[in-house]
Amino acid sequence: MHSTSHTNAYAEFLARYPQYRSTFHLDALRAVEYGRLDEHGQIYLDYTGAGLHAASQVREHAELLNAQALGNPHSASPSSSRTTALVEGARRAVLEWFGAEGDYTAIFTANATGALKHVGESYPFSPKGRLLLTADNHNSVNGIREFARQAGTRVSYAPLTVPELRLEMLALEALLAGAEPDAANLFAFPAQSNFTGVKHSLDLIAGAHDRGWDVLLDAAAYVSTNRLILREIQPDFVSISFYKMFGYPTGVGCLLVRNAMLGKLRRPWFAGGTVNFATVGGRRHVLSPGEAGFEDGTLNYFSIAAVGIGLRHLAGAGIDAIHTRVECLTGWLLEQLIAMRHSNGRPMVRIYGPLTTTMRGGIVTMNFYDPDGHLLDYRRVEELAGQQGISLRTGCFCNPGPGETAEGITDEDFAVALARNPDLTLPLFLQMIAHEGGKSAGAIRVSFGIASNFADAQRFLQLAASLRDQTRLTIGETTFDIESCRVIRDGS
C-alpha cells in the first residue's frame, strides 16, 4: 500500500515526465523477473556498479548447460564443437547488438578491465607517440598510462570544467592538435562517466580521427541504458563488461576492435589458444589471426553461452524504454535533491556534474552538508542507507579525476597529508581534507537501470530528507584527532 503522499508525488512525477508511461511494461517485468527486490524490500540503486539479472536469464542458462555435454572448445570432438558453436553464436550476437558485424572483431575478456589491458599492452606506444586521457576516466583506463610511460610515450590529461565536470573543449582541442603525424597516438575517454553520469559527445571520435588519433571508447558505464551502434561512430577500440549490461554472467567482457586497427596491435606474449604454431626448439610462434590471437587460454565458455541470453533479454525489455525510464527517474531525483533545504534555507545537497538530464545518463553523485555547510561523511550516509535496505555506492568509484577537479584537490594536498602522516590511508586522507578544507574526495552515487521504479527514487529521497537539520556526523563510533588524523578512539 502506498501512502497518500507517495501517490501525490507519483502523480506529480507522471505529469512532469509523461514519457515515463511508455515504460510501464518495465514495471510488469520487474514483478516477474526481479521479484526478489520487492519480496525482500531491497532498494537497489547501484546499476552502474552492476546490473541486475532477470530470473529467466539464469533459468535459460541452466537449461542450456543441462541439455548437452559441453567440452573444452579447443578441439574437434562433438562436445567441443557444441561449445565452439555456443561461443561463436555469442560473438555474433555481440557484434550484431553493437552494429559492428563485418567492421569489428569481438574479443572475449574477463571484464572491461581485461579489454582495456589488451589495448594498453598491445598498442604500439613509442617515444614519439602520444597518449591523451580525459580527467574523467575509470582507473582501468588511467592505468594504460603506465604502459605508455614504459614505452616513453608522453601522457596528457584533458581537463574538466567546473561545476559541470564536462570536457573543457578549448583545452581538448589544443591537446588533440598535438598528435605526432609519424607515430601512434591514442585518445581514450568514457562514453558515460561512471562518476558524474556525464555523456561525453561521441562526435569526439570523428574529430580525433581527423587530427591523427586512434580512439578508445570506454563504454562500460554507457551500454546498459543506451544504444551504441559502432558502425555509425567508428571508435577503434571499445571496452565492455556484460554484468554491467544485464547482470549475468559475471566474468565476461569484451574488447571490440575495428578490423582495420587489429594489425596495428602487438601482443607482448603468446599463450595456449592464441597461436597457430609455436616451437620450443626454434623459439618461434605464429599468432592466430583475429580474436583468437587475443583470447588467452580457455575461454569462460559456460558464461559466454549466457551472453546471448542476456542480450535477448535486454532487447525484449527494449533498450530505448530503459533509457527513457532511467532518464525520467534521474531528472526527478535531480530536481528533488536540488530543491532540498535545511530549515535555515541552506542547501542540503551538492550534486557533482550537470543539474539536468541534457547529455547525462542515469547516475547522480552527491554529498550532503549540514546546516552550517559542513560536509556530512558519506560513509555515515551509506550506513544509514544500508540500515534501510538501500544499496548505493560511495567513494570515488575508481575514477579519481572528477572528484579531484570538483573539490580542487591538488598534488599539494596529497603531499601535505603524506608529510603529516607517513602511514596515510585513504580514510585518513578523506578525514583530513574534509576537516581542514571542507573538501571530499569521495561522494555518494545513486544509479538507475532496467528494474528501477519510482518507488526506488522516492525511498532514496526519504533518506535524503531525513538528513534535514542534522549536524555533522561522526564516522560510526570512531573519533579522529583532526590535527594528526590519527584514530584516537575506536569504539567499534
Ligand X SMILES: Cc1ncc(COP(=O)(O)O)c(C=O)c1O
Q: Is 109 in the site for ligand X (CB under 6 A)?
A: no
Instruction: Evaluate whether 37 touches 451 at the Cβ level (below 8 Å).
Output: yes
Minimum CB separation from ligand X for residue 250, in Å?
8
Q: Is 190 in the site for ligand X (CB under 6 A)?
A: yes
Contacting ligand X within 338-377 (CB under 6 A): none
Q: Which helix (H) or strand (E) holds 13?
A: helix 4-16
C-alpha cell at 233: 561512430
Q: Is 105 in the site for ligand X (CB under 6 A)?
A: no
CA–CA dist 231, 260 (Å, integer): 13
Q: Which of 23, 226, 241, 365 binds ligand X (CB under 6 A)?
A: 241
Give the bridge partners for 189, in sequence order.
217
User: Measured from the CB atom, is 242 or 480 closer to ligand X?
Assistant: 242
Residue 13: half-sphere exposure toward Cβ, Cα within 13 Å: 24
Q: Which of 194, 226, 336, 357 binds ligand X (CB under 6 A)?
A: 194
Give the position of cell 602487438.
Answer: 266
Minimum CB separation from ligand X for residue 198, in Å?
11
Q: Is 140 in the site for ligand X (CB under 6 A)?
A: yes
Minimum CB separation from ligand X for residue 157, in Å?
16
**Residues with Cβ within 8 Å of residue 96, at least 6 apart in sequence:** none
The radius of gyration of the chain's CA atoms, rounded to the nearest angstrom, is 24
Q: Which of 111, 142, 185, 224 binds ligand X (CB under 6 A)?
A: 111
Size of the site for ligand X (CB under 6 A): 12
Q: Is 254 in the site for ligand X (CB under 6 A)?
A: no
C-alpha cell at 441: 574526495
Q: Is 400 in the site for ligand X (CB under 6 A)?
A: no
Active-site annotation holds for 398: yes
Closest alpha carbon to 405 in 396, 392, 394: 396
**Residues with Cβ within 8 Å of residue 36, at least 6 apart in sequence:** 42, 55
Helices (H), 55-201: 55-67, 78-97, 112-122, 139-142, 144-150, 169-176
CA–CA dist 87, 84 (Å, integer): 5
Selecting among 254, 328, 396, 398, the annotated active-site residue is 398
User: Measured from the CB atom, is 116 or 464 closer to ligand X?
Assistant: 116
Upstream peptide bond of 163 is cis (omega within 30 degrees of 0) = yes
Q: Is 221 in the site for ligand X (CB under 6 A)?
A: yes
Minimum CB separation from ligand X for residue 346, in Å?
32
Q: Is 328 in the site for ligand X (CB under 6 A)?
A: no
Q: Which of 33, 218, 295, 404 binds ligand X (CB under 6 A)?
A: 218
User: Measured from the CB atom, is 138 or 360 closer to ligand X?
Assistant: 138
Minimum CB separation from ligand X for residue 48, in Å?
6
User: Measured from the CB atom, is 37 or 112 closer to ligand X?
Assistant: 112
Chain mean position to CA 363: 10
Instruction: Evaluate whether 451 touches 34 at the Cβ level (below 8 Å).
Output: yes
Tell how strand 285-287 and strand 275-278 pair up. antiparallel
User: Measured from the CB atom, is 257 or 432 closer to ligand X?
Assistant: 257
Q: Which of 84, 113, 134, 226 binds ligand X (CB under 6 A)?
A: 113
Which positions lie near ligand X, rule CB under 6 A? 48, 111-113, 138, 140, 190, 194, 218, 220-221, 241
The residues carrying an active-site annotation are 398
